[in-house]
Structure 1
């Protein structure tokens, strides 16, 4: 009877030793399956431990007890090895979860770079793509540096690439200023006329008309200058540029 019990025990231990390493192969398991395998593995380890201790406690024969003790020590060694596999599997799950979190965080950051962003432009809220803002800011940085020729090129490129952008009116306005700063009054007028024609509701429209008048002044065309100032006063009477236009008209008479 004792021999039969030992044989069954050995068979059970062998089956467990063969089954458990297969379950510890984390690369073949999903996280849920891995967690389930850990729970089942721990339960079987504890059951074997309790069973062996119970068997040793009930044996009166010293030889049988020593034999069972040896088996117990071998099993405990195997249990220690399997617990190491459990720790590896748990560590694999933790690393997998961290990689997933990092992946989704990176994906979210990438998506935000492709989504429109709220910006305040001349006191108005507007949605612009990050690429629009980056290109516009770069062009304005060139303008502020005093390189008006390069700024004109950059601003012209912006309005060509983003004609419907919320920054388009401002870019067109500063394009006119870039031409004016170079003494190119005809192109300055042409650029500002686009602002007046295409972006009449823009906050830059009154200033564009004022700059048109200033360019005509520098071209010694007083008639065209007065016409631009009168148009400014008529179409944008409440603007600060209109008040300045009134003062200049009074001096021209």
Structure 2
């Protein structure tokens, strides 16, 4: 009985295989649970840091994007400023080109105008220097006609000067020289007229045309405001050619001067 009771006690104290297995399974579950709890604890403790890290990374990426955008914006702004500056420089260059072209066009137009006038004058000269017929009379008449009827003083003068050179001994030479003086007088070139009339006076002495040259010489001095020489020459007309029409006109002029 004692042995049986002892055996029963011993059998109650020694764990069975199932109990050992269960105990091992329980320990394994505890270990796994502890591991899970550690992982969960680690995740809970590390989660905010990870989020912060992710947020930091996201913020860093965003900042990098913003910085890149700012750099691109600055680059675009710089290109825009360059474009604006170049456009302004181009506008200034175009303005200078327009002004330069305007000056050149004005100069060209002025030159064309001068050339046209010169061409017209040369055409007129060609016509006037080619009188109809080759006679001295034709040349003289054409020059005289230009001065008396057309007031083309310079053109007529050239023809008459050419007449004097070609026909110095012609009886009309004195008249031609006188009308050269008249052409200067008509242009109000009084000093040139005085000198030309003096040529007539010196070359032809008492020729009747000298009276007309003296009268016009006196009037030319009057036009220049030289009353003294004007009166002296008008008096010379009266004294030298007392019966001429020019003397009558000279007396009238002298009387007008005394009446003032």
Tell me the TM-score range normalised by the shorter chain.
0.3 to 0.5
TM-score where L is the length of structure 1: 0.47
More helix by share: 2
Largest Rg, 1 or 2: 2
TM-score where L is the length of structure 2: 0.46
Q: Which has the higher contact order (CA 8 A, sep 6+)?
A: 1
